[in-house]
Amino acid sequence: MMVNAADIPLWAAVAVAFFLLVGATLALIGAIGFVRLPTFYERIHAPTLGTSWGIGGIMVASMIFFSVAASRIAIHEILIGIFVTVTTPITFMLLARAALHRDRAEQNGKAPDKHTGSGSGPEEIQDEA
């Protein structure tokens, strides 16, 4: 039995609103980062805001709302969280390795070689900044 969204208790409404706002804000900041950050390798960090606590916040809000409104435990949202978390690295590595491959082939300088010793990348970047 579903109750109207306006009729759920105040504590639940506050919690739902809080987590929804946190999640949505993080997803928005991630999208802004997508536009603002200058290089490809920096840009791939931005959407992880949306795929970590961005989706986490919205997931928690959804679980609280439907558990309270339908007065039964609704936790199948966890599956969304699990599958998003487990599958994003695959896309990420695919994109990142494609970029690395291109940068190495074109010798764009920024990408470290295949067999760098540890930590030879940062100095190059620092010179540039």
Nearest approach, Cβ of residue 44 and other proteins (Å): 5
DSSP secondary structure of 43-62: HTTTHHHIIIIIHHHHHHHH
Nearest approach, Cβ of residue 3 and other proteins (Å): 19
Q: Which residues bind other proteins (CB under 8 A)?
A: 26, 29-30, 32-33, 36-37, 39, 41-42, 44-46, 48-49, 51-53, 75-76, 78-79, 85-86, 88-89, 92-93, 96-97, 100, 111-112, 114-122, 125-126, 129
Q: Which residue has the tokens 């759920």?
A: 8
Tell me the backbone φ, ψ of residue 119, rounded to 5 degrees: 70, 40
How many Å apart are CA 45 and CA 51, to the nearest integer? Answer: 10
Query: Which residue, 16 or 49, has its beta carbon nearer to other proteins?
Result: 49
Q: Is there a contact between 73 and 94 (Cβ–Cβ < 8 Å)?
A: no
Nearest approach, Cβ of residue 10 and other proteins (Å): 26
| End-to-end CA separation in angstroms for the chain | 59
Query: Which residue, 6 or 35, has its beta carbon nearer to other proteins?
Result: 35
Nearest approach, Cβ of residue 25 and other proteins (Å): 8
Query: Which residue, 26 or 68, has its beta carbon nearer to other proteins?
Result: 26
Query: Which residue, 12 or 25, has its beta carbon nearer to other proteins?
Result: 25
Closest by CA position to 58, among listed 28, 92, 88: 28
